């Protein structure tokens, strides 16, 4: 509908009908344009529809809560169409790639009249391969220059914005925990659906488990209504600082497995360096852990977090 000129005026005319609710759906944040906001300002509510949560994934596919079900969720994500496609690798990845290419073409390339499509595809591949890593437009520009592609940082920032508006990626700013400031450079990027992210990089998530875990934890905190940032300490980093509108916050570290004392000190030590009394969590796939409390830091298994929250 957003491709029809001045569709906003029709929406306004429908709005005057008695006992009428209007639901507008679309896959691009720009669809509710400034014109629509002006014409029916204050009379609409935007609802962000995410892929299936872990609980919804179990319900959709009639699966029990188990490590095997969690492995399917981490690998294939939460796009509802998987119910018909099943978990056969070839068909599931073809379905996910079709969604990705359709959104990329209609909501990014055509909407923003992008000419350098190969670069855009390479940029998404770069972001998928570097999920959860700090990235700046300058660093991407330098990398692309080393690959023989001249792209300015300003253009890369524009491409980031287009991909965000199409709900392919989410940009997560850094948050200075002590100074409580938000930094506007060197951000992290996570994907709307981890299954599509895995399809972009070539399939199974086994070799990228830490990236996928962070992606899933980030999306679930968004689902729980938090504003999520990357925590910045003077001597380290916290994976996520999760803020609620009422001012409550959670500090979160995400790890694959806490298998030795070195890993434990790294994941728990950064949280111990935060001098306030807000809840602190480590979320991992460590076996035999459901919910443990160690020195005021709660260690949650990912399955428990995705079922029960924090």
Question: What integer pLDDT is reported at residue 95 of this predicted model?
Answer: 95
Show me where the domains of the chain are located. Answer: 7-39, 65-308
In this prediction the pTM is: 0.88
Handedness of CA 187, 264, 254, 197 (dihedral sign): positive
In which element (H, E) is residue 307 found?
helix 302-308
pLDDT value of position 34: 60
pLDDT at 254: 94
Sole residue written with tokens 């569709």 = 7
Per-residue pLDDT tens, the chain, 310 aa: give them. 667 777 778 887 887 778 888 888 777 766 655 666 677 666 777 788 899 999 999 999 999 999 999 999 999 999 999 999 889 999 999 999 999 999 999 889 988 899 889 999 999 999 999 999 999 888 888 888 887 878 888 999 999 999 998 999 999 998 887 655 555 568 899 999 999 999 999 877 777 899 999 999 999 999 999 999 998 887 788 899 999 888 888 999 999 988 888 888 888 888 888 888 889 999 999 887 777 777 788 999 999 999 988 8
pLDDT of residue 17: 79
Which pLDDT does position 292 carry in this prediction?
A: 77
Separation CA 259–CA 286 (nearest Å): 7
Contacts of 285 by beta carbon, 8 Å cutoff, 6+ apart: 209, 213, 256, 257, 301, 302
pLDDT of residue 185: 67
Q: What is the DSSP letter of 9?
A: H
Q: Check if the beta carbon of residue 192 is closer than 8 Å to that of residue 219.
A: yes
Residue 134, classed as helix, strand or coil, is: coil
pLDDT for position 18: 81
196 and 82 Cβ atoms separated by less than 8 Å: no
């Amino acid at each position: 509908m957003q491709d029809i000129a001045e569709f906003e005026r029709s929406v306004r005319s429908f709005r005057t009908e008695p006992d009428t609710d209007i639901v507008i759906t679309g896959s691009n944040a720009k669809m509710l344009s400034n014109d629509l906001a002006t014409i029916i300002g204050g009379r609409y509510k935007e609802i962000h529809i995410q892929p299936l949560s872990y609980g919804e994934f179990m319900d959709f596919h009639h699966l029990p809560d188990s490590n095997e079900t969690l492995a399917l969720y981490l690998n294939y994500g939460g796009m509802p169409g998987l119910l018909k496609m099943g978990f056969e690798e070839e068909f599931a990845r073809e379905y996910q790639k079709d969604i990705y290419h359709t959104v990329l073409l209609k909501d990014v390339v055509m909407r923003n009249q992008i000419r350098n499509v190969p670069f855009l595809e390479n940029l998404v591949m770069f972001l998928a391969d570097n999920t959860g890593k700090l990235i700046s437009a300058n660093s991407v520009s330098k990398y692309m220059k080393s690959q023989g592609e001249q792209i300015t940082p300003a253009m890369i920032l524009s491409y980031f914005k287009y991909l965000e508006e199409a709900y392919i990626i989410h940009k997560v700013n850094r948050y200075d925990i002590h100074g409580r400031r938000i930094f506007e450079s060197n951000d992290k990027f996570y994907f709307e659906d981890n299954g599509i992210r895995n399809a972009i990089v070539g399939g199974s998530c086994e070799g990228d488990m830490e990236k996928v875990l962070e992606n899933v934890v980030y999306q679930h905190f968004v689902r729980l209504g938090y504003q999520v940032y990357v925590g910045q300490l003077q001597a380290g980093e916290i994976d996520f600082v999760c803020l609620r509108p009422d001012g409550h916050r959670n500090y979160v570290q995400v790890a694959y497995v806490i298998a030795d004392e070195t890993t434990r000190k790294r994941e728990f030590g950064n949280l111990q360096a935060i001098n306030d009394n807000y809840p602190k969590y480590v979320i991992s796939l460590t076996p035999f852990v459901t919910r443990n409390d160690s020195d005021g830091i709660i260690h949650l298994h990912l399955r428990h977090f995705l079922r029960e929250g924090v």
